[in-house]
Amino acid sequence: MPDFPIIDAHVHLYDPQRLSYGWLASVPRINSPHGLREFDAARGPVQVDGIVFAEVAVDAGLHLAEAAFVQEMADADARLCGMVAHAPVEKGAGVAEDLAALSRFGALRGIRRLIQTESDPGFCLAPDFIEGVRTVGRHGLPFDICIKSFAMAYALELVRKCPDTFFVLDHIGKPDIRYGLREPWWGQIRELAALPNVAVKVSGVITEADHAAWTEADVTPYIAHVIEAFGFDRTMYGSDWSVSDLTHHYPQWVEILDRVVAGASLDERKNLYRGTAARIYRLAVAPS
């Protein structure tokens, strides 16, 4: 375990009794309130002094209500120091209205609009989507990309078309670990890392492996490849809790990541576990 407190850059907090999340019906194991109390129970001995909320695909039209819910939690617990909120960037320049509404929430630090759930991932290259992402950048916010590995070519093109927006690739681009596939994801990660306006979250990796039979050896090559490509100053730790509960306990992920970076310096490990997230999401956290 890290011997210093860490920042978890990707946490899902929600309450199905307060807001509607249609997708949760298909995952009854985590279809219950998951707030900071449940997070603390899940993290066990891992010290976490900073949390970045990642939008939870709340039902359409409820993204401002979700942001208000998260801000309530942030006001009550200073650890919740960042929010990556949903905004409908497919509205093009019109998303500025949503961004203005979201800006009243002090925890706002980034925007995400899921791409992985679209039947055609080319949706993210529509002119209005691109203009919406550019608008996010003009508002000084990074844009989180959540996309499956078979659609990484679209992510590359999106980043190239929005050079003035900073991007964060969620879940290392969701490689097909279950079947041991590497290419073209392996090479595309290097292409993406060559672009200066992208960072990556080492998160949500185990859930891309076989849920019932994954091993540490299955996931470690993918983790190591991403860190080598992006470097510690553009790689940040994330748990993807509560989705992570579908495959493993919270401390297991930290232990695996710790073993992958066992040869890294203390400064490199601090970048991975807190510095990169603090810098990119402009988090008000004390230096470790």
Please report, for the chain, the start and end positions of each structural domain, with discontinuous segments joined by +.
Answer: 6-280
Side-chain-side CA neighbours of residue 244 (13 Å): 26
Measured distance CA(150)–CA(110) in Å, rounded: 25
CA distances from 148 to 17, 32, 216 (A): 30, 26, 21
pLDDT of 288 > 70? The answer is: no
May I ask the CATH architecture of the domain 6-280?
Answer: Alpha-Beta Barrel (3.20)
Kindly report the number of other CB atoms within 10 A of residue 29's CB atom. 9
pLDDT of 115 > 90? The answer is: yes
**163-202: per-residue pLDDT in tens?**
999 999 999 999 999 999 999 999 999 999 999 999 999 9
Residues of the chain with pLDDT > 90: what percent? 98
Residue 184 preceded by cis peptide, ω within 30: yes
Do residues 34 and 14 make contact, with C-beta atoms less than 8 angstroms apart? yes
pLDDT of 286 > 80? The answer is: no
Measured distance CA(129)–CA(149) in Å, rounded: 20
Residues of the chain with pLDDT > 70: what percent? 99
- Please tell me the pTM assigned to this model: 0.97
pLDDT of 287 > 70? The answer is: no
What pLDDT score does 1 carry? 85
Burial class (CB in 10 A: 0-12, 13-18, 19+), 101: middle
C-alpha triplet 11, 73, 33: angle, nearest 5°: 60
| 8-state DSSP, 199 | E
Summary mean pLDDT of the chain: 97
Q: Is 146 helix (H, G, I), strand (E, B) or coil?
A: coil
Measured distance CA(38)–CA(167) in Å, rounded: 29
| 8-state DSSP, 60 | T
Mean pLDDT value of segment 96-120: 97
